[in-house]
Amino acid sequence: MKFSFDSVVHLYRSTYYNMPQSLKTFLGTIYGNIPIGIRYGKLYGEYMNRYKTYEEGSEQFKQDFVYNKTLETLIFAEENIPYYTEVFQKHGVSSKDFKSLADLKKFPTISKHEIKANLDKLYTDKIEKPIAYYSGGSLSTPTKYFQPLHTSRAKHKAYSMFTLGKIGYKYRDRTLLLKGREVSKPDQDIYWEREPVDNYLYLSNNYMNSEKFPLMYAEAVKFKPKFLFGYPSAVLSFIAMSRKFGLEPIKVEGIIVASESIFEPDFGVIKDFFGDVDILADYGHTERVVSAYRMNYDNYQFINAYGTPRIVDREIVGTSFDNFVMPFINFKTADEVSGDVVYFEGSDIAREVKNIEGRTQDYLVTDDNRLVSITTMCGGQHLPLDLIKNLQYKQSEPGKVTVLIEERGGVVDKEHVISGMKALVRDGIDFEVEVVDEIARSATGKRVICKQSLDIEKIRQNK
């Protein structure tokens, strides 16, 4: 039976987050000091060993591993997931047709929109308890997915520790975090939060480019971080604000960036400020289908022991491993690659790529010209997802945002949506919700999550 203490505790994380800091520090420190292999269970060690064994294996071993794990996913999906049973029959393919890595292209793709339309036929609880996750990304409404409760967290934690180890990170090294949930308490003049479980100090991204930055910087200096981990845009804002206030770079041993694209000029800006430190960029997504990392400006290396990435018309199309709740087969990530691609011989399955041009970073602007990342707004906890088909943020004036919503067969409580969004932003933005019959697409047919009329770069530079 698959089980881990972490996956059970994870179900009650909201209760933990809402505790007073003193109690959170006490409980979090105790829990964080429990060895990671005990917290995440036997599976954690198995996955860590998998990644190491794969990396050290021969070329033939790697190809055989990817083939066998992909076949395992195809067989499970065909036999247990109604959607795949039907769509395979419709396209005249079967798991028996998968004879080599090149055969994966014979199987149909699935997009986020198709997942939304067929969710009830895309998962099972036969093997493990499903737990819901929500992904925002480039779509105009969060999408609901399911992962296996215990397996998914152990596998992904092992992946994280394996890849972050490339930069010298060890679990619970003191890390300044510029990503994730909003932690500010403006009424108390607090714009940070200590997270003792992982030994993080969160800084509020929503106040990063505000006059409160020196307070945040001072807290970061007291914390004495060994690593800095954040969205690329947040790291760049931290640099810009440090320079504005004449503050010295915080000395760190390495910098980790994730959740947004990062390009060659960004590496230059970061190294120019922090000195000759290594920068590790992580690529992944909520669906946990494929993962990759790059060190400095080297190519992205796919972790092919995690999932199978194909490159189709420059788009990453992934097939998951180990998800026996809601497997993904030829999942269209909407993330594109550029530059050279290295493939497994005779296939379109990628081993490394030069650039991954994933989520573009959009911002909302507060009434005092702070920048609030759209990434902050992604997720589903504050939205009645069952009633929302699509949404879009529109802004042409600082501090005022209109949210367009397409309803999905029900009436959306506008005040509920507004209160949820204000809870995420904390203050500085008045939201107005408009229910519309249809949200217009871009000229290329893509739904746009944010239509921003303000000059974001000018606002950033004037800070």
Encode pLDDT of 329-380 as tens digits: 999 988 889 899 999 999 999 999 999 976 545 788 999 888 887 766 655 5
pTM comes to 0.80
CA angle 441, 443, 446 (to 5 degrees): 45
At 441 the pLDDT is: 64
At 359 the pLDDT is: 53
Do 171 and 185 meet the contact criterion of CB atoms below 8 Å apart? no
Alpha carbons 25 and 261: distance in angstroms, whole number: 33
**How many angstroms separate the Cα of 138 from the Cα of each of 128, 133, 379?**
29, 16, 12
State the helix-helix crossing angle for 42-56 and 59-80, rounded to 10 degrees: 140
Q: What is the mean pLDDT of residues 163-183?
A: 93
Is residue 208's pLDDT more than 70? yes
DSSP state string for 368-380 = T--EEEHHHH-SS
Residue 452, token pair as written in the block = 């921003």
Is residue 119's pLDDT more than 90? yes
Do 372 and 364 meet the contact criterion of CB atoms below 8 Å apart? yes
At 442 the pLDDT is: 58
Count other Cβ atoms within 10 Å, centred on residue 15.
8
pLDDT grade for 3, boundaries at 50, 70 and 90: low
Beta strands in 259-399 (DSSP E): 278-283, 292-295, 300-302, 307-312, 315-320, 331-343, 350-357, 363-365, 371-373, 388-397
By DSSP bridging, strand 430-436 and strand 400-407 are parallel
Domains of the chain, earliest start first: 1-168+253-359 (3.40.50), 363-462 (3.30.300)
Do 73 and 111 meet the contact criterion of CB atoms below 8 Å apart? no
Residue 432, token pair as written in the block = 């107005």
